Amino acid sequence: MHFQWYPGHMTKAKRMMQENIKLVDLVIELVDARIPLSSRNPDIDELGHNKARIVVLNKSDLAEERWNDAWSRYFEEKGFLVVKVDSRKGSGMKVIQNVIREACKEKIERDKKRGILNRPVRAMVVGIPNVGKSTFINALAGKACTKTGNKPGVTKGKQWIRLNRQVELLDTPGILWPKFEDQKVGLRLAFIGSIKEEILNTQELALEFIQFMHEKYAGVLEEKYHIEADSESYATLNGIAESRHCLLKGNELDTDKAAFLLLDDFRNGRLGRITLETC
């Protein structure tokens, strides 16, 4: 499977990011816990090189806990502060508040030395499309937040959400563009649904996914779809089509539909917690 992807609007996203990042002290980078490296854009290291940094393993509810822990250690060893969260449920939000405080300590100290008191630390959330940025901002900010800036009739500017006395969050996240020269990275992004389906062949993608499952999560598909164990991917896809009654006219198996169902089950956690990329 070979595909390339770099839509034009990502160039615009990069420009926006360069502008916005100048306004903040802290960058909160969301990655998908199922593919923590493949869902990163390494350019963020250069863009945010003199900023405080936090890596958030989002959607940690969909990934295996032992790998969430291993990835946390991985990023910690690289010098990042790391938090695992499930933004949909809101778990991990208390921890992240503390970690934000910790990340900002240095900056607050520096301000103090220069005689600047009570200037809030400014933060922004960044990540590739669909990684959960909006869900995360909503969970973190909650209902109690107050927005500042951009008041009607006053100066036009950015909207900031006041998280507490010390921290303000930019209300629009920075969109990072997925980056992959390596086809394996592209494939993982496609598995989690971060690459538009129109440019991919769903069935081919499902066959690649089945192969991965056979190698790393043997037996899971067989148990879920009540099908016989078979190491051949196409036979498994046929088995899924049969067990899910995906049929075309004339009772022919609709493997396209089965492929779609399988990927949808995976993306929504119905195959259990699965980590696609390990460290």
Interacting stretch for ligand G4P, rule CB under 6 A, among 41-49, 55-63, 221-229, 238-246?
55-63
CA distances in angstroms from 184 to 24, 27, 191, listed in the order given: 33, 27, 11
When asked if residue 127 is in the footprint of ligand G4P (CB under 6 A), the reply is: yes
Spatial contact of 169 and 140, defined as CB atoms under 8 Å apart: yes
Residue in 50, 46, 140, 134 with CA at minimum distance from that of residue 93: 140
Smallest distance from ligand G4P to CB 89, Å: 7
Spatial contact of 29 and 103, defined as CB atoms under 8 Å apart: no
Near ligand G4P by CB under 6 A: residue from 27, 35, 68, 86? 86
Interacting stretch for ligand G4P, rule CB under 6 A, among 84-92, 113-121, 182-190, 214-222?
84-92
Q: How far apart are the first and last CA of the chain?
A: 24
Whichever of 192 and 258 has its CB closer to ligand G4P, that residue is 192
Residue nearest ligand G4P, Cβ-based: 132
Q: Other CB atoms closer than 10 Å to residue 180's CB: what's the count?
A: 19
* Helix, strand, coil percent content, the chain, rounded in steps of 5: 45, 15, 40
Binding mask 135-174 for ligand G4P (x = CB under 6 A): x---------------------------------------
Spatial contact of 60 and 30, defined as CB atoms under 8 Å apart: no
Near ligand G4P by CB under 6 A: residue from 25, 29, 61, 277? 61
Smallest distance from ligand G4P to CB 53, Å: 18
**Residue 123: beta bridge partners?**
26, 169
Reported residue count of the chain is 279
Near ligand G4P by CB under 6 A: residue from 133, 179, 188, 257? 133
Whichever of 130 and 203 has its CB closer to ligand G4P, that residue is 130
When asked if residue 236 is in the footprint of ligand G4P (CB under 6 A), the reply is: no
- Binding residues for ligand G4P, rule: CB under 6 A, are 58-59, 61-62, 86-88, 127, 129-135
